[in-house]
């Protein structure tokens, strides 16, 4: 079903890149995530994060530092085209991972040639890791769905279809931004509670959503359903994802068809894609709440139920303009875990998405939906943390927040660690809110 554990995961493995051996780093040699970067005005190219460096895969190809048989895969990466590399399939990805692990390991004969191919991450601009075609946002976070449902339907928070269907809606890929980009507070139609007529205005209830991004690497033909036993072969890896939301706009527009302007103005994606191979040591059994029905047969396999969840610890950090002016660091406002929050696996999302014949393509992106934990302080949005704005959260320096203000900056972080495995991380997924553009 999934990539297994091999020598590339050995926690004792060390790299000749010294910064990759720091115990609290995100990018040890056991990780090797892919990202797209450039220096100044140079063309975009693909790299692999190792410690605080980026291994430039174009320079690695030119230096002939990797086995010659990998050249068909290195050529699109050297050109900055992760989509074309993903289309080569899991075998190409796995082969390159093993070669990179050996070449970057301490004592490697490739060190002399690859050392000149490293670029400090601090010097590069990181972009979206691939060209994103279609974007689908799922709603698999059961604690989020329950908490939000309880705000509006106290006696019946989950609708009858929720335990049976991996709920999702189609999003807007043109406004997915790479980490580090700011965006303007969006406008939308809002109807205040006391008003009979709605008005157009900037949102006053801007929110973040803590999500994982699932990058599709494989294609299926139109009309071809992907069975759950093969579903993970379509997946390249995972990222961090923030699906910003205008809650007052959403409340007015979402019936009967769901979100529109409240979700299409900006979403932020982290620049590094952590492959399924790197995540192999951090698999867990899917944990569904007691009393939920067994999924329909097309959504169930014993292997997926036993190891289809990923143990990714997630954090949300908030920094306000005033905090930065006072020299205060960002404040962690929530912690949760992908495996604890989701009631559907990545494979189930892929299978359900294609069961009607939908064709997926390399570079398509799934959002997981908001990943809140079971406790109130583990909420993955301000809508939950502030209980719909009724209980603002307290911040260092005396500020409060029910929803985001101009100048606020949200950073998502994710990491995996367990005994017997090397700690790996996802880097940062960061964006700042700018004032609304005058209309």
User: Which helix H or strand E contains 159, and what residues bound it?
Assistant: none
Q: Could you tell me if 18 and 28 are in contact, meaning their C-beta atoms sit under 8 angstroms apart?
A: no
Q: Could you tell me if 413 and 240 are in contact, meaning their C-beta atoms sit under 8 angstroms apart?
A: yes
> Phi and psi at residue 67, in whole multiples of 5°?
-55, 140
* Structure letter (DSSP) for residue 39: S
d(CA 423, CA 120): 21
| Residue the block writes with tokens 């299409």 | 264
3-class secondary structure per residue, 278-324? CCHHHEECCCCCCCCCCCCHHHCCHHHHHHCEECCEEEEEEECHHHH
CA of residue 147 relative to chain centroid, distance: 22
Instruction: Centre a 10 Å sphere on the Cβ of residue 67 and count the other Cβ atoms it contains.
Output: 15
Residue 144 annotated to the active site: yes
Q: What is the DSSP pairing of strand 393-394 with strand 53-56?
A: unpaired
Catalytic residue among 9, 143, 144, 331: 144
Task: Please tell me whether residue 35 adopts helix, strand or coil conformation.
Answer: strand
Instruction: Centre a 10 Å sphere on the Cβ of residue 236 and count the other Cβ atoms it contains.
Output: 27
Cα pseudo-dihedral 131, 134, 140, 145, rounded to 10? 110
Task: Please tell me whether residue 342 adopts helix, strand or coil conformation.
Answer: strand
Catalytic residues: 144
């Amino acid at each position: 079903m999934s990539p297994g554990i091999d020598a590339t995961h050995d926690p004792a493995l060390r790299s000749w890149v010294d910064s990759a051996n720091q115990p609290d780093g995100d990018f040890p040699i056991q990780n090797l995530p892919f990202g797209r970067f450039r220096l100044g005005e140079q063309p975009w190219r693909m790299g692999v994060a190792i410690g605080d460096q980026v291994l430039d895969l174009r320079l690695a190809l030119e230096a002939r530092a990797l086995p010659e048989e990998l050249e068909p895969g290195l050529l699109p990466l050297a050109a900055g085209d992760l989509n074309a590399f993903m289309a080569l399939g899991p075998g190409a990805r796995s082969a390159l991972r093993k070669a990179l692990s050996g070449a970057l390991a301490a004592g490697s004969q490739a060190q002399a040639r690859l050392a000149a191919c490293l670029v400090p991450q601090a010097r590069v601009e990181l972009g979206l890791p691939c060209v994103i075609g279609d974007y689908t946002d799922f709603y698999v976070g059961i604690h989020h769905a329950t908490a939000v449902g309880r705000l509006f339907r106290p006696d019946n928070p989950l609708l009858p279809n929720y335990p049976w269907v991996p709920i999702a809606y189609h999003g807007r890929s043109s406004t997915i931004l790479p980490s580090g980009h700011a965006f303007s507070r969006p406008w939308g139609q809002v109807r205040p509670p006391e008003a009979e007529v709605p008005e157009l205005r900037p949102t006053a209830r801007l929110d973040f959503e803590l999500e994982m991004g699932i990058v599709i690497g494989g294609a299926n033909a139109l009309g071809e359903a992907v069975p759950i036993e093969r579903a993970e072969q379509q997946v390249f890896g995972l990222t961090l994802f923030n699906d910003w939301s205008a809650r007052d706009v959403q409340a007015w527009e979402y019936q009967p068809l769901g979100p529109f302007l409240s979700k299409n103005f900006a979403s932020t994606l982290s620049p590094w894609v952590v492959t399924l191979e790197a995540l192999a040591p951090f698999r867990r059994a899917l944990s569904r709440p007691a009393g939920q029905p067994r999924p329909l047969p097309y959504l169930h396999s014993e292997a997926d139920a036993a190891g289809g969840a990923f143990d990714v610890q997630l954090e949300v950090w908030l920094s306000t303009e005033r905090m930065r002016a006072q020299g205060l660091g960002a404040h962690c406002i929530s912690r949760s875990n992908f495996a604890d929050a989701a009631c559907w696996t990545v494979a189930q999302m892929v299978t359900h998405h294609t069961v009607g014949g939908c064709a997926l393509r390399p570079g398509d992106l799934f959002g997981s939906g908001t990943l809140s934990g079971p406790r109130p302080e583990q909420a993955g949005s301000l809508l939950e943390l502030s209980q719909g704005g009724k209980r603002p959260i307290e911040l260092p320096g005396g500020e409060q927040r029910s929803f985001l203000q101009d100048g606020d900056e949200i950073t998502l972080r994710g990491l995996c660690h367990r005994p017997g495995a090397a700690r790996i991380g996802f880097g940062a997924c960061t964006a700042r809110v700018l004032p609304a553009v005058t209309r």
